């Protein structure tokens, strides 16, 4: 096994790079790092240690919408309560409310405009126990 990997970056396909960048900036608090092309065909966004790329790929974006697909992107955060409140205040489409999950995380899910499901999560401390709002993999919607 090689140890040369340092990071992986999810890439979101869209038919409109500028609108998608704007959504991630205004609704989710990301900052644009760079944008390439005229008109734009690729962009990089960052929030804390999380990086996302946005690509102009209308065929994939249309397939996601037409087929009802929901690709997942997992975003680990700290202070999930404040992040959740920020996303709610900015009218993010929260499709699963913040809850303690049996797999060791407090998590909620946002559907962003291109159909991707952003799973925003924070590990809970081992001494904590899942409370009554705990959701198991069998009961969590996909």
What pLDDT is recorded for position 140? 57
What is the per-residue pLDDT for 66? 95
Separation of alpha carbons 102 and 80, rounded Å: 17
Q: Beta strand pairing status for 105-111 and 117-123?
A: antiparallel
DSSP 9-56: --EEEES-HHHHHHHHHHTT--EEEEEETTTT-EEEEEETTEEEEEEE
| pLDDT, mean of each 10-residue run, the chain (142 residues) | 90 98 98 97 97 98 95 97 98 98 96 98 73 55 50
Contact partners, residue 5, CB within 8 Å, separation at least 6 = none
Domains in the chain: ranges and CATH: 11-123 (3.10.180.10)
């Amino acid at each position: 096994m090689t140890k040369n990997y340092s990071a992986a970056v999810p890439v979101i396909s869209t038919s409109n790079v500028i609108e998608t960048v704007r959504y991630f900036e205004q609704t989710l608090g990301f900052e644009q790092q760079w944008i390439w092309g005229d008109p734009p065909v690729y962009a990089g966004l960052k929030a804390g240690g999380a990086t996302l790329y946005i690509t102009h790929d209308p065929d994939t974006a249309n397939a996601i919408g037409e087929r009802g697909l929901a690709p997942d992107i997992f975003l680990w955060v700290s202070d999930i309560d404040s992040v959740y409140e920020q996303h709610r205040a900015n009218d993010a489409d929260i499709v699963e409310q913040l809850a303690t999950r049996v797999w060791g995380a407090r998590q909620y899910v946002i559907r962003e405009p291109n159909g991707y499901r952003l799973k925003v999560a924070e590990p809970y401390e081992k001494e904590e126990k899942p409370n009554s709002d705990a959701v198991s993999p069998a009961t969590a919607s996909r």
